[in-house]
Structure 1
Amino acid sequence: MGENAAKKYHHHQVNDLSIDMVPQGGSKCFDDDGRLKRTGNFWTASSHIITAVIGSGVLSLAWAIAQLGWIAGPAVMFLFSFVIYYTSSLLADCYRSGDPATGKRNYTYTDAVRSNLGGVKVKVCGLIQYLNLFGVAIGYTIAASISMMAVKRSNCFHESGAKNPCHISSNPYMIMFGVAEIVFSQIPDFDQIWWLSIVAAIMSFTYSGIGLGLGIAKVAESGNIRGSLTGISIGTVTETQKIWRSFQALGNIAFAYSYSIILIEIQDTIKSPPSEAKTMKKATLLSVVVTTAFYMLCGCFGYAAFGDLAPGNLLTGFGFYNPFWLLDIANVAIVIHLVGAYQVYCQPLFAFIEKWASERWSDSQFINKDIEVPIPGYRPFNLNLFRLAWRSAFVVLTTIIAMLLPFFNDVVGLLGAFGFWPLTVYFPVEMYIVQKKIPKWSTRWLCLQILSFACLIISVAAAAGSIAGVVLDLKVYKPFKTSY
């Protein structure tokens, strides 16, 4: 839309010989690429990242630390935070090709791969990225329904005086979440959901804070810190289960940190000067420090409170302890956060499909024409029929798959494993090597390759653990019959 606006604007200028404004870097209305001025800053970028990072992943961290123990659990979390910060900084440098201040912009992750690496890697990257975004949408639908059911069950449990087991089907709640996403998915562009990101970021602090508070209260009440140095003990689980669960825990922690997948898209909303990379690195540092502090507190206090029995989802597993109203607030905050996080993750996928369709069928009115819908007291809303149809179909599909596969921990672990190495480590490292012309076999090149290989091993192990978990779940599973 920005480029079209620039072209139209230029056309009027020639005919009317009016004001001297050219869509160049110095223009008040346009950036150096002819698109409308970007307005994002350090704070909006940070809120997008925190919305993307402190997602439902935080709720599985007490369970992950319970599998790994007091030594390996926090150590792995610190390791992941360092890797994520480092590779995100490498990726931020790839937003512009060539000069960091004036080089050609790459609007999406795939564009950055195309500019720096090219060839078949572009298709591989696109496939992994969009499959991962699709998977995240399914994972968030599952997580939101579990939280909605937790509210219903805690109230039911409270009213019956703990006499009623209160089994509920997850399907109606997934459908309710899907309906909300159909409405919000009509927001046209990534830069127009900044307000949704800020609301979601506030909600993530709310429920993480409540989870942390409940963990601290439980530790204080019992007066002892549970858990062990090596994690869940053999006997509670078999040796094989211990290995698979430890691997799955790696995937859960990887998922809790994954946002590199949409980093370039977030960076494309930032205004300059200073250079977008500089602002993005600052936003990344703040976000990673904040999220790591939260993760350590939530994961460690959850483990200290429950020990080996730490639930897969901290707030729904806290389940039916008082104060039940506080748990309800936390779970409502999770649902509101996930509504926003779903949009933050899906906007790049929506934009990709719409751009492809627009180029393929450039003459189609259905795909390219916007209908102005008047809203009293506001500016008209631009409704696009293709956007309405395709985005609604996408939400319906993710909701149906979520209803078929409602295994929160295993899905989270699998998504973390699938996206972590290629998108968070491999592509940023390879692009950075090309961009900075780092010579092959130099010390820096070797260090980057060792980092990449180590993360590949972690990804493979985490995927194996999560697949083993899904296989176990499927043995006792009936489609569309899941109740908690």
Structure 2
Amino acid sequence: MVENTFQTNFSHREGADSLIDSKYYDDDGRPKRTGGVWITSSHIITAVIGSGVVSLAWSIAQMGWVAGIVVMLFFSVVTWYTSAFLADCYRTGDPITGPRNYTFMDAVSSILGGWNVTWCGIAQYSNLFGTAIGYTIGASISMMAIRRSNCFHDSKGADPCHMSANPYIISFGIVQIFCSQIPNIHEIWWLSIVAAIMSYTYSTIALGLGIAKVAENRTFKGTLTGVRIGDVTKDQKIWGIFQGLGNIAFAYSFSMILIEIQDTIKSPPSEVQTIKKATKISILATTFFYLLCGCSGYAAFGDTVPGNVLTGLGFTNPYWLIDIGNAAIVIHLVGGYQVFVQPLFAYVEKEVSKKWPEVDNRTFKISIPGLSPYNLNLFSLLPCGDVYPTDEDPKME
């Protein structure tokens, strides 16, 4: 059974409150949280907006103009509404002074308990693991698309430009090993901001190319009901609708890390107020871009829109702009990967350190000229970083 794994190291220390410097530590003995509305929004946007935004046009094509737009608005409202409920679970009891639930699993444990903890743990960590795999594949596809775009341009379409994804998957993994040296989710705010900027960059490129294509066609393509039965079979139509629903639903999914993001927020004001405001801003901005990108792509290509308008060569020129869009996807997925896997890293490290404490304590100081020594934890190379404070923190008075 999954236990509450994030108990503070100071909880059993007599007179701990008097030993904690409030300048560096919060009331629970953990390092001072610094997240505000905009940093929290960047975390959420990084988690919500993925490379799937460029496949929303295909999803709308399966349902048509009316149902496609309605479904997208419906999921945005559902996501905002359920996120507000989940945000209230961060503290048990009083929303300002009540005990914190540091993770999604802590909230499940304190509210539901029993076997619900086990099943929800399996669901959450399986989802996070699957998302990490999906981000790795998505990044490799975008890297391949850059090379294919240049290949097509250089050969003027004569070369089919077949290539293997393996080198790009390995390259992405190597980059993630370095990024995983960042100690915890509190410290990746700058990476989330960069990733959020990148998400808007490739979304804007897809939007601009869609608008340019509509201007070139001098007409809006697409129909009210989407792909017609006849062009596809009845079974293919039904399957396409369900795929489209799944794509849109997944595009808004970030609940499995909402509380982990909420645990990076400074107080006062209360964490609930900040996360709800950040969630509202993020979902409004995300929905706006989703609608623009999805509708412009569908208007440009109609029912023949490719599954991914950037990597599927929906657009072929200007090839350099498409390369920038795919590069932005790769950079965004680097940051998004870290936001999703930090809770998974934390769980793995905590469980292993409980069974083999000596593994967690094996750190090496690496001298860096002109800077403070870097404490390398062997877990970070797996990668799994140090995610909770230790009693030996030099800031403890």
TM-score exceeds 0.5 = yes
Query: Do the aligned residues in 2 keep the contact of 1:2 with 1:35 (CA within 8 Å)?
Result: no
**Partner of residue 23 from structure 1, selected from 4, 20, 24:** 20
SS in 2 for 1:316: coil
Alpha-carbon offset, residue 5 of structure 1: 7.6
SS in 2 for 1:382: strand
Superposed, 1:377-388 pairs within 5 Å as 377-388=370-381
Measured against aligned partners, the alpha-carbon deviations of 1:252-296 in whole angstroms (never above 9, x if no partner) come to 111111111100000000010110000000000000000000000
Query: Do the aligned residues in 2 keep the contact of 1:97 with 1:115 (CA within 8 Å)?
Result: yes
**Partner of residue 197 from structure 1, selected from 192, 205, 219:** 192
Distance 2:319 2:54 in 1: 18
Measured against aligned partners, the alpha-carbon deviations of 1:96-140 in whole angstroms (never above 9, x if no partner) come to 000000000000000001011111111111100000001001111
Task: Judging by fraction of residues, say which structure has more helix.
Answer: 1
Distance 2:7 2:91 in 1: 18
TM-score norm. by structure 1 comes to 0.75
Corresponding residue number in structure 2 for 1:389:
382
Cα root mean square deviation, aligned: 2.0
Name the aligned partner's letter for residue 70 of structure 1. W
Corresponding residue number in structure 2 for 1:339:
334
Distance 1:29 1:367 in 2: 24
Corresponding residue number in structure 2 for 1:375:
368
Superposed, 1:123-272 pairs within 5 Å as 123-272=118-267
Distance 2:174 2:110 in 1: 38
Greater RCO between the two (CA within 8 Å, min separation 6)?
Answer: 2
Distance 1:100 1:241 in 2: 49
Name the aligned partner's letter for residue 292 of structure 2. L
Distance 1:30 1:177 in 2: 35
Distance 1:174 1:391 in 2: 19
Structure 2, gaps ≥5 residues long: 1-5, 386-397
Do structure 1's residue 355 and structure 2's residue 350 form an aligned pair? yes
Distance 2:12 2:364 in 1: 21
**Partner of residue 282 from structure 2, selected from 278, 287, 296:** 287
Alpha-carbon offset, residue 23 of structure 1: 2.6
Query: Do the aligned residues in 2 keep the contact of 1:154 with 1:319 (CA within 8 Å)?
Result: no
Distance 1:48 1:298 in 2: 21
When the two structures are aligned, how many residues end up with a matched partner? 380
Query: Do the aligned residues in 1 keep the contact of 2:53 with 2:294 (CA within 8 Å)?
Result: yes
Distance 1:61 1:320 in 2: 15
Distance 2:107 2:286 in 1: 26
Measured against aligned partners, the alpha-carbon deviations of 1:288-333 in whole angstroms (never above 9, x if no partner) come to 0000000000011011111111111121123552111000111001
Query: Do the aligned residues in 1 keep the contact of 2:209 with 2:315 (CA within 8 Å)?
Result: no
Measured against aligned partners, the alpha-carbon deviations of 1:356-410 in whole angstroms (never above 9, x if no partner) come to 1122223x1x222322222233332221113323549xxxxxxxxxxxxxxxxxx
Measured against aligned partners, the alpha-carbon deviations of 1:127-168 in whole angstroms (never above 9, x if no partner) come to 000000010011111111111111111111111112222122
SS in 1 for 2:375: strand
Distance 2:370 2:309 in 1: 43
Query: Do the aligned residues in 1 keep the contact of 2:309 with 2:315 (CA within 8 Å)?
Result: no
Distance 1:210 1:370 in 2: 44
